[in-house]
A and B are shown apart, each in its own frame.
Chain A
Amino acid sequence: MGEERIELPQGTLDLLILRVLALGAEHGWGISERIQQVSKDVLRVQQGSLYPALHRLERRGWIKARWAASENNRRAKYYELTKAGRKQLETEESGWKKLAAAVAEVLEAT
């Protein structure tokens, strides 16, 4: 648990969830852990907002859920990316990269 944490900006949670799921099916807890790990504990998912986001993404058809045995042999709800989700991830990813690059440029110019 690092000391320096950043609150997730609005709308980025969806992108992160999709990104994590692009690596393979995962359950809710696993997703939050993975985000934390990959961001080296900088990004922390509000667990209270994770599940509503997952259900919202599922309703939009970007991810789908199925019940399967977890690594500790319990029944867990696994989410995985759908085709539409993969497409969505691509657009969001490139959008985000453009935004980040633009912001960086503006910051460096001044």
Chain B
Amino acid sequence: MLSDFWIRLRSLLRRKTVEAELDDELRFHVDRQIAKHVQAGMPLEEAKRRARIELGGVEQTKEECRDARGVRLVETLWQDVRFGLRMLRKSPGFTVAAVLTLALGIGANTAIFSAVNGILIEPLPYSDSGRLVQIKGKGPRLGGFAAGGLSLREIRAIRDGCPALGQVAAYNLYAGATVLGGSVPDFVTTPQVSGNFFTMLGVRPLLGRPILPTDATPGNDHVAVLDYTMWKSDFGGDLGVIGKTIALWKKPYTVIGVMPSQFRMGLQTPGPRTRALWLPLLPPSGPSAARGNHGYAALARLRPGATLAAANSQLETLSARLAAAYPATDKGWRLSAETAKGALLGRELPRELLILLAAVGLVLLIACVNVSAMLLARSWTRRREVAIREALGATRQRVVWQFLVESLLMSLSGGALGLMLALWLVPLLRAIAPPHTARIDSLRLDANVLWFTLGVSILTGVFFGLAPALEASGGRLGAGLKEGISGLLEGFSARGPQRLRAGLVILEVAVAVVLAIGATLVARSLQKLLAVPLGYRTQHMLTVEPSLMGSACNWRHMELCQEAAGEILRRVKRIAGVESAAMGIDGPYYREYWALVEVATAQGPKDVSRQIGYSAVSPGYFEVMGMPLVAGRNFNAGDTKNSERVTIVSRAFARQYLGPGSPLGRRISMEKDKEGRPEWMVVVGEVGDVWDSAFKEAKGQFYLPATQSEQIGFAPIYFVRTGADPLVIAGAVKQRIWSVDKDAPIGSVATVAHTVSEFRAGPRFRTALLGSFGFLGALLAVVGIFGVISYSVSLRTREIGLRMALGARPSDALGMVIGEGMALAIIGIIIGIVGSLALTRLLRSFLFEIKPNDPATFVGVSLAMGVAALLACYVPARRAMRVDPMTALRHE
């Protein structure tokens, strides 16, 4: 009830006022009563006495009123808080250590949770997004690959033949346009969306209006909705942008709307950096209507009451029907639906985030255990205080509450500090996350995250505070007061809490071992990844990817593209600082071109039934890339359209598909002529293997001479090798491109080193995070061992002194202390190993060339943990060794 809350709050915050009011109220009553008695003829003194008796004890009444106002609990709490703060101030070293430990743990948890929340938990920012599904089409597997996508005809069939789905909106996947009129020609992604796309998602534009069904009709379709990045960069965030025109493919488009920055739907790269605009998608006609054109995607909304399973079974039926009706294009294609969020996130990302959350949770667990062990030690030293309080009538509940308030104070301070740490960690996380991580821009400290932090702080406080609180109030009334007598027995009677502390140390060592093993596995996997010989040069290499569709060439005149591409290469080579340059249709790290290959054998053509990657390259390519020619010759100027078709294969290709013996002179084919006969190419050379971005293996591939193939069309990639920093000459390379095609947009300018490092961003990110969690966990565990063993030594000083007086040598004391600590550490390590064997399997998909149960890692981490534990025991053990029996016994 609200009034309840306000009254309690007011009673608490404005105590003086409330008390004064209570005084006034009661005094008024007494005065009226006196007046009444006097009126009835009573003498004043008698009336006063009478009135007071009638009211009863004023103080008691007040106390009852306070109770009635519900302040009691709060006031007790306030007392406990003040007392707790005083206690914490009394031992600042301990408090600071505990709060910092907790802040580290809670801060890291908050940061990781902000990622889990922003990426996994928050619904997509569309109306009723839980019912939004992505429809996928998957083609038949052909040579190890399955094509994907939907045709517009399929989308229409889904709209008509899938009752579980209400609306269906289509958009195309691979669309881009050249924007002219800016300072340089530029390239933007231009997803074309059906007229119901925006209204189905229920998103509101920042400015203007979205694309509507009326726009998606021929003649009305020259309108564009800008994305936020494009609006900022190309129009300087102009509020009057609506109605302005923008030139795409040299045609004017009217800007009708601007979308807010979070809206990225329909874009291939979910990152916020690419500029984009949405255009209307016209009804299918011409090539876009072809059943074989699977270049589209569809979003749909489940009807109320319909389930995803129902939609999927309807899609299944539909696939079968389409395959039967149009076997030539639709056979083997399967339609399916998945939640829009699931489709956006994929499988790996949620897994990875949950693993990180679990790992960082374990760090917090260790931190808690540490603080708990410290508190247990303190609760033993505070037993005298507790005994006095209990003797004075404090109930056990009250004492437990008092201790819990203290630990909650610590955990809440830790939480507040952790939140500040998270303020700094969250942007860091965003910055080091691999590029193109879905929804990475939605990481923030929002209400959910704040509740999480508060909840974690409270849970943490209760978790680490409960055992010490129960321990401290252990009901040993009088035991603390008898300290003087039982001094000698202390070492033994302290065994109870000591056993609990031992359990805590074992727990934290075990958890730290699990964390450290996980982190080491991931780190070694990264190390192996970095050690892979890529097979090509990465340093001093620049890649530039223009699109020559500007004015140099077009679809109908591909030979012009070819010429322009060659001319640019010649000009680039002449730039001062360029050592050599080449071009190709693919870099060594991407595989965008694949073909089904046949190999000529003595028995006739043999299908290798595998999609094989290939690239068309200019003659100097292998030299520029630093790929060794193993046998045969390079491409040269003699390889022309009129000469024999030639190819160069990679070593892995030769081994896998051409068998033993020299590949030179063998023939392979990737195309058939009009009569269906293979068009043979003669293998004239063999080059070294390169690893692509997937890093799974060096796959076989082959190369065509750019001079013989028409593949180098409007999108050549230039590979420029320089003496110094490659980015220095980037400007000059662009100028040469524009000197040939002034309207060519340049999509990407990057160093090879940078591109390659981006491929490894994922593993690096994982290693950085898990590594720091593992390190932090191990460090905290070692500190924990140190603390507990030190404390145990200080408790047992007298016992040790007594033993020494009875003839034990210092080395015995050393051995005893180290033995005690190491026993705990070893049990912890063994439990940790068992736990790791069970848990590291979850990491399997993130590991490269290392098994989740890699023995070297397990042994190494265990040994390291053991040595660290030994060191942590050694320092207090030395102190035990130096115990002087006389001083120790006189200590009494």
A interface list, Cβ under 8 A from B: 27-29, 33, 46-49, 51-53, 55-56, 58-61, 64, 67, 70, 72, 74-77
Q: Does B672 contact A (CB under 8 A)?
A: no
Asked if residues B61 and A29 are in contact (CB atoms below 8 Å), the reply is: no
| Chain B residue nearest to A32 in the complex (CB) | B29
Interface centre among B1, B8, B25, B26 (most CB of A within 10 A): B25
Asked if residues B56 and A53 are in contact (CB atoms below 8 Å), the reply is: no
> Beyond A47-B29, A51-B26, is A59–B55 a contact (Cβ under 8 Å)?
no
Asked if residues B3 and A59 are in contact (CB atoms below 8 Å), the reply is: yes
Asked if residues B28 and A76 are in contact (CB atoms below 8 Å), the reply is: yes
Asked if residues A48 and B68 are in contact (CB atoms below 8 Å), the reply is: no
Asked if residues A60 and B3 are in contact (CB atoms below 8 Å), the reply is: yes
Asked if residues B4 and A61 are in contact (CB atoms below 8 Å), the reply is: yes
Chain B neighbourhood of A61, CB < 8 A: 1-4
Q: Does B33 contact A (CB under 8 A)?
A: yes
Asked if residues B64 and A51 are in contact (CB atoms below 8 Å), the reply is: yes
25 contacts between A and B (CB under 8 A): A46-B56, A48-B55, A48-B56, A48-B57, A48-B60, A48-B61, A48-B64, A51-B25, A51-B64, A52-B61, A52-B64, A52-B67, A55-B65, A55-B68, A55-B69, A58-B3, A58-B7, A58-B69, A59-B8, A59-B70, A61-B3, A75-B24, A75-B28, A76-B25, A77-B24
Chain A neighbourhood of B55, CB < 8 A: 47-48
Asked if residues A56 and B2 are in contact (CB atoms below 8 Å), the reply is: no
| Chain B residue nearest to A77 in the complex (CB) | B25
Interface centre among A27, A52, A67 (most CB of B within 10 A): A52
Give Cα A110–Cα B713 distance, bound, in whole angstroms: 111
Chain A neighbourhood of B21, CB < 8 A: 67, 77
| Count, chain B residues at interface, CB 8 A | 29
> Beyond A59-B7, A61-B1, is A77–B68 a contact (Cβ under 8 Å)?
no
| Chain A residue nearest to B7 in the complex (CB) | A59
Chain B neighbourhood of A53, CB < 8 A: 68
Give Cα A55–Cα B18 distance, bound, in whole angstroms: 12
Chain A neighbourhood of B8, CB < 8 A: 59
Give Cα A61–Cα B68 distance, bound, in whole angstroms: 13
Interface centre among B29, B33, B67, B70 (most CB of A within 10 A): B29
| Chain B residue nearest to A63 in the complex (CB) | B3
Q: Does B156 contact A (CB under 8 A)?
A: no
Q: Does B32 contact A (CB under 8 A)?
A: yes
Chain B neighbourhood of A59, CB < 8 A: 3-4, 7-8, 68-70
| Chain B residue nearest to A76 in the complex (CB) | B28
Give Cα A49–Cα B61 distance, bound, in whole angstroms: 7
Chain A neighbourhood of B28, CB < 8 A: 27-29, 70, 74-77
| Chain B residue nearest to A27 in the complex (CB) | B28
Give Cα A6–Cα B33 distance, bound, in whole angstroms: 21
Chain B neighbourhood of A46, CB < 8 A: 56
Query: Which residues in window 425-482 of B have CB below 8 A to A?
Result: none
**B64 CB to nearest A CB, Å:** 4
Chain A neighbourhood of B61, CB < 8 A: 48, 51-52
| Chain A residue nearest to B70 in the complex (CB) | A59
Query: Which residues in window 40-68 of B have CB below 8 A to A?
Result: 54-57, 60-61, 64-65, 67-68
Beyond the given A47-B33, A75-B28, please list 20 additional residue pairs across the A-B interface where CB-CB is below 8 A: A28-B25, A29-B33, A46-B56, A47-B55, A48-B61, A51-B29, A51-B61, A52-B68, A58-B7, A58-B69, A59-B7, A59-B68, A60-B1, A61-B4, A67-B21, A75-B24, A76-B28, A77-B21, A77-B24, A77-B25
**A100 CB to nearest B CB, Å:** 27
Chain A neighbourhood of B2, CB < 8 A: 61
Give Cα A53–Cα B28 distance, bound, in whole angstroms: 17
Chain A neighbourhood of B65, CB < 8 A: 51-52, 55
* Binary flags per residue of B1-27, CB closer than 8 Å to A gives 1, else 0: 111100110000000000001001110
Closest 6 CB pairs of A and B: A48-B56, A61-B3, A52-B64, A55-B68, A56-B68, A52-B68
**A65 CB to nearest B CB, Å:** 9
